[in-house]
Structure 1
Amino acid sequence: SGCSGGGGTAARGPAPSPSGLVHYTPATGSPAPAASPLTTAPKECVKTAGMSVEQLTGYLKDLRSTSGDYQTKGLKLDSSGLNFTPEDIKRPCEAVSVKLAHYWVDLKKTHKADAISGARYEYAYTLIGTASHTAGPQDGRVPDTAPPDASVCRGTVSVAYLGPDIPLRALPYDLTLVDTTAPAPVKVDGDGVLSAIYVSPPNPDLC
């Protein structure tokens, strides 16, 4: 796992180059094997310890996942919470700390669906809580970060971010309501937002 706590900092080698890349060898519980011509070269990593909030935000936003697919995120929220799976060459040398906020989303139908338009709803957000969590440098899911379970007429929005806390006005008010509680990505305004998901309540048409 390697996502919780902050003490699993990987061993660092030579001083970072101007690009911020240094050599990185994951820490293990046993001595390193003797060098041989077949030994894999140390992976490169990015030293994040001296980054400002703006620099770290930009780095994490650009961090791609191991899938290599375009726009896939190395650090993102899913049904289990924060998931850290960056591609090897640009992973951080040490664990990074991010904030995570969960919100209740209470729904109230204001217009029933008809032949012309679909149903319309009002949304009321309530902050459940905000906490800081560490992720990396090894892959894994961060414990205790899963979104709360949705209930009747009450869904949740979860936001991973850096910098100032997210104001309620920045949360989405055009949610797509579906008959599934599987998390869906949503847009949350703010320069420090890294990932955000929405969990719909079951049977929103009944609200």
Structure 2
Amino acid sequence: MHRARAPFALPATLVAALLAVSGCSGGGENAARTPSPTPSGLVHYTPATGSAAPAASPPPTAPKECVQTAGMSVEQLTDYLKQLRSTSGNYQSKGLTLDSSGLNFTPEDIKRPCEAVTVKLAHYWVDLKKTHEANVVSGARYEYSYALIGAASHPAGPQDGRVPDTAPPGSSACRGTISVAYLGEDIPLRSLPYDLKLVDGTAPVPVTVVGDGVLSAIYVSPPHPDSC
């Protein structure tokens, strides 16, 4: 008669040692792949080959300097516009000019107005009459008189360019024009030039008009004043 033998039992200390050697602590392969922490407690990370660092954002563009003109008085705005320089590069050239095409607004980038500025523009007829023929001693002499054609307000800027509907009327026989850009009160006839020099040509020439708010004034002669 055979008797069943009792199973052979390993000592508990030997079982624990075998488990530690074989790595059967419950972590498996994942446990073996876990990187060792650094002394500070952080895990070293090496980015994948070819990965690019995020591009730095470009610095914001600084806004161009401009001048708030909305709250200026007539005197302040007059002084500001007289000192406003042009992009032409010519010495002392102005950013707001008056010529045969009308009002032109071309200020440089700095100190330009932040908003449109309202400028008044008046046109006058200059009627000529010859009072003395030219001779070997002196040239011809003329009398001239002024008559208002019209005056209106026009916004200039903030974009560059010619202000529409500001060109002076065309001159005709014995009749020229004076155009005045100004601020504030309208220009009385007595403020127009009293020593106007008549020229044989229709190119606009600057003239002096008396007034605190006057910005610019030009004269366009009739084509042939000698025939008047």
Same fold by TM (over 0.5)? Answer: yes
1:108 aligned residue = 129
What do the CA deviations read for 1:166-191 (whole angstroms, capped 9, x no partner)? 11111112222222111111111111
Superposed, 1:1-207 pairs within 5 Å as 36-37=58-59, 40-207=61-228
> For 2:120, what is the secondary structure of its paired residue?
strand
> For 2:110, what is the secondary structure of its paired residue?
helix
> For 2:113, what is the secondary structure of its paired residue?
coil
Give the structure, 1 or 2, with the largest relative contact order (CA under 8 Å, sep 6 or more). 1
* Per-residue deviation, 1:160: 0.3
Amino acid at match of 2:148: L
* Per-residue deviation, 1:40: 4.8
TM-score of the superposed pair, with normalisation by structure 2: 0.73
Number of aligned residues: 172
TM-score of the superposed pair, with normalisation by structure 1: 0.80
| Structure 2 unaligned blocks of 5 or more | 1-56
> For 2:81, what is the secondary structure of its paired residue?
helix
On the 8 A contact 1:152/1:202 being kept in 2, the answer is: yes
Amino acid at match of 1:115: V
Question: Root-mean-square deviation (CA), in Å?
Answer: 1.3
The separation in 1 between residues aligned to 2:226 and 2:108, in whole angstroms, is 41
| Structure 1 unaligned blocks of 5 or more | 1-34
Name the larger-Rg structure: 2
* Per-residue deviation, 1:68: 3.2
The separation in 2 between residues aligned to 1:145 and 1:172, in whole angstroms, is 21
Amino acid at match of 1:132: S
More helix by share: 2
Amino acid at match of 1:113: A
